[in-house]
Amino acid sequence: MIDKQHITNRFIKYIQIDTESDPNNPAFPSTEKQWNLAKVLVHELKAIGMQEVNLDENCYIMATLPSNLDYEVPTIGFIAHIDTSPDFTGKDVKPQIVENYQGNDIILNEEKKIILSPNYFEDLLQYKGQTLITTDGTTLLGADDKAGVTEIVTAMEYLINHPEIKHGKIRICFTPDEEVGKGAHLFDVEKFGAEWAYTMDGSQIGELEFENFNAASAKVTITGKIVHPGYAKGKMINSILIANEFVASLPSEETPEKTAGYEGFFHLHDMSGNVEQTVLEYIIRDHDLDLFEKRKYLMQKIAFDFNKRYGQELIHVEIKNQYFNMKEKIIPVMHIITIAEEVMKEKGIIPLIKAIRGGTDGSQLSYKGLPCPNIFAGGHNFHGRYEYVPVESMIKATEVIVGIAEKVAKNYA
């Protein structure tokens, strides 16, 4: 159905364009280089025959595949993001193709002794006999979410080249800055004009997700006082030591490496400072809204108690909500999950319906009026040197997009 070499070539072309976003830049998009892929996609979408191709001033790309039906069905959408994570470099990606993988260790970089091993990454063993695309160990791959972009473009191209497949109007969008939490901020839901959509931004084959974390960021600033250490008794306030106390005051078992499933956490992901000032950067996550609010309260209460004990305002906590659990918005329209689930089964895919231990553009879009669950894009080990994607998973994801378009047309006939 989908040509393996064609989808491989398209994916490799996209990942070799650096689109890393920047969490510290308030501009939109946060990096100019995201425009480079956006312009390539605009050209390609026009070339394959998509209509109403538009790249707006905020680097959102929208396009339309017109209906080929003689009756009305809901307009649906498919969404992916063009940026890659700032957690690990995406510059100068050098992909490696492993044909007919046999469950062995994969040497990503012989010189640096970087190995992708099923002894550590057990999911590799699911893909024996398949073709894997990996990194060379010095960059991330960019399957998050250029696999999703590849699948959407390829699915649209396939539908255009096979007019015998009946479908309603389909809208697609590629967003910037998803990895820094801004991907849906300026998304124009009314302009997009879909009744519902799917983000192609999941991981392993079969994932179908409509629950995600409630999410917030927390910036903890500790202010100290520098004094010559020889004369510091009773005078110096070492912000680094107070920061250490603050970290130890949070539940030690509620961190990402010690939680799974629906369990929430506090994640300290950055720490910098000196005697005079230390800054702790956290993310706060929980699927349950009440527990999420309690986590934010706990962080503020710890700061309050510290300040009371020291008799001055040494610790300031700034918390910002990022996104909320989309489940509340999807439950009233569960038929959109049923459609995707049925298509997967028809394609020989076992649906893995589970909660996301993270978030997608879809979580924000659902709260903006566009119900938007998440479907697998096929990649594994996102945001790091061990990232890989089976080509067969990208093909299956493309088939799911085509299948959803076809099933919506049949269901509303």
| The last residue of a domain, from among 261, 290, 322 | 322
Q: Are residues 316 and 168 in the same domain?
A: no
For every residue of 334-374, which 3-state class applies, written as one string? CHHHHHHHHHHHHCCCCCEEEECCCCCHHHHHHHCCCCCCE
Domain count of the chain? Answer: 2
Q: Are residues 289 and 370 in the same domain?
A: no
Q: Are residues 293 and 340 in the same domain?
A: no
Q: What is the pLDDT of residue 81?
A: 97
| The last residue of a domain, from among 280, 303, 322 | 322
Q: Are residues 193 and 332 in the same domain?
A: yes
What pTM does this model have? 0.89
Q: Are residues 187 and 163 in the same domain?
A: yes
Tell me the residue ranges of DSSP E strands in 176-276.
196-202, 207-211, 214-223, 265-273
Cis peptide before 29 (omega within 30 of 0): yes
Cis peptide before 177 (omega within 30 of 0): no
CATH number at residue 118: 3.40.630.10
pLDDT in tens, 41-52: 999 999 999 999
pLDDT in tens, 304-326: 999 999 999 999 999 999 889 99
pLDDT in tens, 24-46: 999 999 999 999 999 999 999 99
The dihedral sign for the CA sequence 300, 302, 303, 309: positive
What's the pLDDT band for 354 if we cut at 50, 70, 90?
confident
Grouping H, G, I as helix, E, B as strand and the rest as coil, residue 277 is strand
CATH number at residue 255: 3.30.70.360
Q: Are residues 168 and 244 in the same domain?
A: no
Residue 293 CA to residue 283 CA, distance in Å, equals: 13
Q: What is the pLDDT of residue 322?
A: 87
Q: Are residues 187 and 329 in the same domain?
A: yes
Q: Are residues 50 and 154 in the same domain?
A: yes
Residue 280 CA to residue 87 CA, distance in Å, equals: 17
Q: Are residues 196 and 301 in the same domain?
A: no
Residue 312 CA to residue 102 CA, distance in Å, equals: 62
Catalytic positions are: 83, 178
Q: Are residues 156 and 258 in the same domain?
A: no
Q: Which domain holds residue 290?
A: 215-322
The mean per-residue pLDDT over the stretch 233-240 comes to: 94
